[in-house]
Chains A and B, each alone.
Chain A
């Protein structure tokens, strides 16, 4: 059709406004939109924080967190033991957060690296606070007693798992073959020291030390590929006293 025979865009637009088929949205609509946008962003941030702090909690609780201290070999087991479903979910949330943030001028005026870095710093700081407050430990205890209705399943399926080949426990007794270790579950295992067993932090073990033992389990014995002491400052769940030396240690 020839454009010259058409009414001008100005006529069409004003015609629609006057006919009432085009309405101006009220100011409260945009205020509400902004409010829900910000609330959505904060909700995403909280979910992301929950996932990442839960991952850190799991890694510390199972002892996987300490594996990289065994060098390249420990790092390989560390990578194989990571909860990848949770990690990938967290990465997805990170990108959703970044996308939500880029609606705001303070974010889109700067390179993505800055806003992404800002989110990561906030998450790390919050994760440290959550870890120090022992929130997940409390939730795990509630879940174990069946007193956590919604997230209880998550804690029961992930939080009560023990990593294969990685055992965290307290030295009950030093013996000729190695050491007797009482794990979180109250199971007493023999950590058998072999010629190839690695000790990245030395061999200065004594009764009551918290240790991480890596190795294949056979019956109640672990053929230790590596043993290291976990120092007081590194201890997971210390606020809840889960890893206090067991009462059976009394002389």
Chain B
């Protein structure tokens, strides 16, 4: 197994070493599959989408700045690919994520607030049961934070939103998740 960092491998790929790209594919294949399955949450062919993500990553690898994190860069490509897949299925594709009020105003205490109220294990259990019922933008933030275990800063870089907005989305997503979870458990006795 190659011990080089993602960024070192990416630099080698930029220099023409295609084999190094194979290592990057191996490292991210499972993560992106999981991210896609949870985010898209329907019968899409995730394998084809993930394959397309790697093809796009290779095609555009020279735009990657090796001083920055490779994971954020490839997750950004994955985010765009998955959003396009959801948009294609949406009844109102143009309206999807056209304007998001969460990103409009500053939210100074969002991180502190988002971390109050529920523990990670509890959230993960609820996520498995209720994920498909959440709005995609909230679903994605939860998946990246609780399942992919990313920090707010990295999620913000992937979604191209302010860090404070990540906190606001997580806060709202958890509230929605709890509501859905309680409704589901009440219906099932």
Interface pair B162/A108, CB less than 8 Å apart: yes
For chain B, give the interface size range: 20 to 34
User: How far apart are the CA atoms of A102 and B61 in the complex, in Å?
Assistant: 21
Is A12 an interface residue when CB atoms closer than 8 A count as contact? yes
Interface pair B164/A111, CB less than 8 Å apart: yes
User: How far apart are the CA atoms of A109 and B158 in the complex, in Å?
Assistant: 11
Is B77 an interface residue when CB atoms closer than 8 A count as contact? no
Task: Name the B residues within 8 Å of A6 (CB-CB).
Answer: 47
Q: Which of A1-54 contact B (CB under 8 A)?
A: 3, 6, 8-10, 12-14, 16-18, 22-27, 29-30
Interface pair B25/A10, CB less than 8 Å apart: yes
Question: What is the minimal beta-carbon distance from A50 to any residue of chain B, in angstroms?
Answer: 25
Question: What is the minimal beta-carbon distance from B68 to any residue of chain A, in angstroms?
Answer: 10
Residue of B nearest to A112 (CB): B104
User: How far apart are the CA atoms of A17 and B164 in the complex, in Å?
Assistant: 40
Residue of B nearest to A110 (CB): B162
Residue of A nearest to B51 (CB): A9
Interface pair B55/A16, CB less than 8 Å apart: yes
User: How far apart are the CA atoms of A143 and B163 in the complex, in Å?
Assistant: 51
Interface pair A9/B62, CB less than 8 Å apart: no
User: How far apart are the CA atoms of A18 and B21 in the complex, in Å?
Assistant: 12
Question: What is the minimal beta-carbon distance from B100 to any residue of chain A, in angstroms?
Answer: 8
The binding surface of chain B is classed by DSSP as helix
Is B29 an interface residue when CB atoms closer than 8 A count as contact? yes
Interface pair A9/B21, CB less than 8 Å apart: no
Task: Name the B residues within 8 Å of A110 (CB-CB).
Answer: 106, 162
Question: What is the minimal beta-carbon distance from A15 to any residue of chain B, in angstroms?
Answer: 10
Is B156 an interface residue when CB atoms closer than 8 A count as contact? yes
Contact pick for B165, options A8, A14, A22, A111, CB 8 Å? A111
Interface pair B50/A9, CB less than 8 Å apart: yes
Task: Name the B residues within 8 Å of A30 (CB-CB).
Answer: 60, 62-63
User: How far apart are the CA atoms of A22 and B59 in the complex, in Å?
Assistant: 7
Is B160 an interface residue when CB atoms closer than 8 A count as contact? yes
Question: What is the minimal beta-carbon distance from B106 to any residue of chain A, in angstroms?
Answer: 5
Contact pick for A17, options B21, B157, B160, CB 8 Å? B21
Is A250 an interface residue when CB atoms closer than 8 A count as contact? no
Interface pair A10/B29, CB less than 8 Å apart: yes
For chain A, give the interface size range: 20 to 34
User: How far apart are the CA atoms of A138 and B104 in the complex, in Å?
Assistant: 39
Task: Name the A residues within 8 Å of B26 (CB-CB).
Answer: 10
Interface pair B163/A109, CB less than 8 Å apart: yes
Interface pair B51/A12, CB less than 8 Å apart: yes
Interface pair A13/B165, CB less than 8 Å apart: no
Q: Residues 30-60 of chain B: 1 if any A CB is under 8 Å from the residue's CB, otherwise 0?
A: 0000000000000000010011001100111
User: How far apart are the CA atoms of A16 and B58 in the complex, in Å?
Assistant: 11
Is B18 an interface residue when CB atoms closer than 8 A count as contact? yes
Interface pair B62/A113, CB less than 8 Å apart: no
Question: What is the minimal beta-carbon distance from B136 to any residue of chain A, in angstroms?
Answer: 19
Is B105 an interface residue when CB atoms closer than 8 A count as contact? yes
Residue of B nearest to A103 (CB): B160
User: How far apart are the CA atoms of A16 and B21 in the complex, in Å?
Assistant: 12
Contact pick for B18, options A17, A26, A105, A111, CB 8 Å? A17
Interface pair A109/B156, CB less than 8 Å apart: yes
Task: Name the A residues within 8 Å of B106 (CB-CB).
Answer: 110-111, 113-114
Interface residues of B (CB under 8 A from A): 13-14, 18-19, 21-22, 25-26, 29, 47, 50-51, 54-55, 58-63, 103-107, 156-157, 160-165
Q: A6-B47, A9-B51, A25-B63 are in contact. List 13 more A-B contacts (CB 8 A).
A: A9-B29, A10-B26, A10-B29, A13-B21, A13-B22, A14-B19, A18-B18, A29-B62, A30-B60, A102-B160, A108-B162, A109-B163, A111-B162
Q: What are 8 sample pairs from A and B whose C-beta atoms fall under 8 A apart?
A: A10-B25, A13-B22, A14-B18, A17-B21, A24-B13, A24-B61, A25-B62, A112-B103
The 4 closest A-B pairs by CB, nearest first: A108-B160, A30-B63, A10-B25, A112-B104
